Structure 1
Amino acid sequence: MRAYIVFTAPLFILLTACSSPPKPPTVDESQKRPFNSQMAIELQVCKNDLQNTQILATESSRLAETTAATLAHMAARQQLMALIQEKSVANSVRIVHFGFNSTRVSIPSEEATALVEEAKSAPLVVLRGRTDGTSDSSAESRIAQARAHAIRDYLVASGVDPSRIRATHQPSGDHLADNRSARGRNLNRRVEIEIYRVLPLSPQVSAPPQP
């Protein structure tokens, strides 16, 4: 009986030792990073704020460029409208009438003085000879052209630069008044003098003067 007790005691001790839990591994506290520390949280918030600020700055810069382009476009449109308005107001038209089958220039002195002063300061003067004709015959064309050239010679003799004058003519049509009456025909025998304060945009009007 004693031998059994002596024999089983070491076995019990061995079994008890094997059943005890292992010790946990040791950790170097100096290598731990405080991911959830207050400083780490504030750093992350700061990074997010910085990124948002950069995004807002980029959007603000893009909006500023778009606004500047829009303002520039509006300014250009306003300048164009002002130029068009200036041209429409500054330009003037004067009319010189002629007798039947005549190319003799007769202008009252006051009107002649104003006409010459305007023509001298204008960059372009366009003369359009007209008749009371009803067809584009060679005779009507000659007299319409002769009337325009007569006004041209009158202006040049008065001191207007000939390089600024352009003379055209139209044998028939484009009547100013009813061509069926004598009074209307008197008004239709004319030369229209277009005085430009600013050179027109149309290449047809701004072409070099015809000899």
Structure 2
Amino acid sequence: MRALLLLTAVLPWALGLSSCSAPPKPPTVDESRKRPANTAMAVELQMCKSELQNTRILASESGRQAETTVATLQRMAAQQQAMAAPADTPATERPAEALPAANSLYTVHFGYGSTRAALPAELTAALVDEARNAPLVLLRGRTDGSKDSTAESRIARERAAAVQALLVNAGIPPARIRTTFQPVGDHVADNSQPAGQRANRRVEIEVYRALPVAMGAAPATAH
């Protein structure tokens, strides 16, 4: 009887001890509701968001650069405009300076060894009409000579003198005529060819519109 009572008292304690020493069972999971942590669609969506953000940043930066460039160009244009015309006198109001008229140049050709000036009537009339109001008429006697000599010098001088006499006879004051001569050189064409030699035997007549600056203090005299 005593053994039965002891067994009855110990049995519940043994059962409790065995239940405490057994490990708990793992929780059960519903496999039908499981989803992958990173699906392909989620990754692609994240990439699209990143690209969109980068595009917005680049667009904003490009806009700022464009605004800066436009402002710089406008400043440069304003500076160039200010430098082109003084502020006190607009370019549209500045009077244009009148350029002096160019001198007229006539040429009289001579035969070989000749000092006789023969001008066509029309050329003579135009020359005299222009020389009548000119402050200075400059004559340059030239030859086709290839070597300096007394004969070439005489021919060049007499050719200039012949044209001077023609102008004086037409009423041009001698004080306004100046003659020069050069026996060789100053050729206008190939002096080794007959055509070039004919062109080089000449007197150049330059009709001045105004006195040269160096000659303004003293009137030109005939030589």
TM-score range, shorter chain: 0.5 to 0.7
CA distance in 2, matches of 1:108, 1:145: 22
* 2:136 paired residue number: 124
Deviation at 1:202, TM superposition (A): 3.1
8 Å Cα contact 2:175/2:219 also seen in 1: no
Which amino acid is 2:200 matched to?
N
Question: Of 149, 155, 171, which residue of structure 2 is paired with 1:159?
Answer: 171
Task: Tell me the secondary structure at the aligned position of residue 142 of structure 1.
Answer: helix
Q: Distance in 2 between matches of 1:144 and 1:202?
A: 25
Please say if residues 141 and 171 of structure 1, whose CA atoms lie closer than 8 Å, have aligned partners that are also in contact.
Answer: yes
For normalisation by structure 1, the TM-score amounts to 0.58
Q: Secondary structure at the match of 1:199?
A: coil
1:142 to 127, 133, 154: 154
Q: Is the 8 A contact 1:96 1:192 kept in 2?
A: yes
Displacement of 1:151: 0.3
The 1-side partners of 2:222 and 2:124 are apart by 23
Which residue of 103, 107, 114 corresponds with 1:91?
103
Partner Cα distance (1:102, 1:153) in 2: 16
RMSD: 2.6
Structure 1 counterpart of 2:206, from 177, 194, 206: 194
Q: Distance in 1 between matches of 2:222 and 2:144?
A: 24
Per the alignment, residue 183 of structure 1 pairs with 195
Question: Would you say 1:115 and 2:127 are equivalent positions?
Answer: yes
CA distance in 1, matches of 2:219, 2:170: 23
Secondary structure of 2:198's match?
Answer: helix
Within-5 A mapping of 1:32-71 = none
Rounded Cα–Cα distance in structure 2 between residues aligned with 1:169 and 1:186: 17
Mapped partners of 2:182, 2:208: distance in 1? 20
Which structure has the larger Rg?
A: 2
Q: Residue 202 of structure 1 aligns to a residue in which SS?
A: helix
Measured against aligned partners, the alpha-carbon deviations of 1:142-178 in whole angstroms (never above 9, x if no partner) come to 1000000000000000111111000000011000111
- Normalised by the size of structure 2, how large is the TM-score? 0.55
Aligned partner of 1:103 among 101, 115, 127: 115
Structure 1 segments (4+ residues) deviating >3 Å: none
> Does the aligned pair in 2 maintain the 1:90–1:198 contact within 8 Å?
no
**How far apart are 1:125 and its partner, in Å?**
0.1
Amino acid at match of 1:176: V
Displacement of 1:207 in angstroms is 5.9
Q: Percent identity?
A: 52
The gaps in structure 2 that reach 5 residues or longer are 1-85, 90-94
Residue 145 of structure 1 aligns with an amino acid whose one-letter code is R
Q: Is the 8 A contact 2:176 2:219 kept in 1?
A: no
